[in-house]
Amino acid sequence: MFKVRGIIVIACFLGFAGAGAFGESKDFKSQLVAFRQAVEDYSAGESKKDNRQLLDIAANYQAIIVATVHVDDNAKAILINELNDIVQKDYDQNPGFVTKISRVDCMYYSLLLGILREADDRQLLTYVRDASKSNFMRYDLKKSCFDQVIRLRISTYIKSPEKLNKFDKEFVEILDGFIDPASGITIGNRRRLKRQFVMHLLGFELPTSKKMKFPAANKAHGIKLAKGVVEDTSISFQTKYWFMEQIAMYDPDIHDKFLEELRKNVAVKNFPAKLRLKFARKLAELGEADEDMIKHLEQEVREKQKGREDEKAGA
């Protein structure tokens, strides 16, 4: 068995290969081929009108496949094999991940994961848990797995908020796997995933008209992960800014350090005015307003923006 395929156990589905299953499997595989072609056509579309039509075609195939996988375990096994085939093909063609994965493969993989999430969220979690531990998947594909678990948490809260507490225990365990150094994901990419993870761990509010607020999955764990970034002396304040901002409200020591770093960075003259203005406004938000500094930086930002616009107009 291939290394990548070994990450997912599908033996439980083998019992469905009865006399009628071959014909059904052939039909389902044909659906996947047609769906893949629709994704390729959409990816190659040249106009907005074409893309809308092509997207509708792909969406129709997707809806049919979701309905099939939802009721047919044999189809579900084929879908999982299709996911593994993409991972295996990418690894075989590019063992060192020197070149980028094709846009179509990345899009197709993500859409197949979305189908699995809609058809069988439990099987998605099993797949993603194992994928997080694989050293044979590139970041782009692991990121798709990570994102689907995030989407599943959001949909769980919207559809069945009473189930969220139970779900969150598994949610934390699975996403921890992606930020573990053993996952094979690079430090910078782990930090990007960690930011999204910490949002859900601490709780956040969607900036919509309805102001939907998602509860904390595990606040203590979120603070711990964010502190790990904040205390890393090898990265800049700009990189750790967001993490510091999140936990400053929970930890007085971090709050004081955050203020100190903001003051220090606002004063660095060779930093971009836009960045210094961001820090100055944050200081004002935290009760340390310097209106003259803010006005000066706002003026500097406007002048630079006008200069770029004039330069572009004269080009």
Query: Could you report the per-residue pLDDT of 216-247, keeping only the tens digit for each?
Result: 999 999 999 999 999 999 999 999 999 999 99
**The token pair that represents 65 in the structure block:** 């496949």
pTM as predicted: 0.84
Spell out, as residue ranges, where the chain has pLDDT lower than 50.
1-23
Contacts of 221 (CB under 8 A, 6+ apart): 172, 201
Q: Which of 271, 266, 268, 299 is nearest to 284 (CA)?
A: 266
pLDDT given for residue 24 in this prediction: 61
CA atoms within 13 A on the CB side of 49: 0
Secondary structure E strands in the chain: 204-205, 213-214
CA atoms of 51 and 57, how far apart (whole Å) = 10
pLDDT given for residue 315 in this prediction: 60
pLDDT given for residue 99 in this prediction: 79
pLDDT given for residue 12 in this prediction: 32
